[in-house]
Amino acid sequence: MNRFTKKSFKDRISGSFSISLIIFVLILGLFIYGISTVSNSDVVNDKEILEEAVLHDVVHCYSVEGMYPPSVTYMEDHYGLTYDKDKFIIDYQFIGANIMPQVDIIKKSGNNR
């Protein structure tokens, strides 16, 4: 084919469609990758916020009552601690009334919300 011969309409449409489809698939892939990245960073932020909230309530209880809270349930009942129990587990190890408890926040596996 030389420069003076025109492509048929069908050939021009199929070439344009192929390029459009490839661009669409690339944009869709980037969009899905971005959503998953944001979702993963949200879980990390939620974990950090929950850890700060628990430690804040532990210190607040000690300053008000003169003892560390005996359990997570105690902080929920008396200090308004709330968290997504389907997403996280709080490993709270109460050692004694005047010894800072060990607090670990654990993300439940298999939960990618």
State the Rg of the chain over Cα: 28
The pair of three-digit structure tokens given for residue 41, joined into one six-digit string: 């960073």
What H or E segment, with its residue span, contains residue 9?
helix 9-65
* d(C-alpha 71, C-alpha 99), whole Å: 13
pLDDT in tens, the chain (113 residues): 566 667 666 666 666 778 888 898 999 999 888 887 776 667 778 899 999 999 999 999 999 999 999 999 999 999 999 999 999 999 999 998 899 999 999 998 865 55
pTM: 0.62
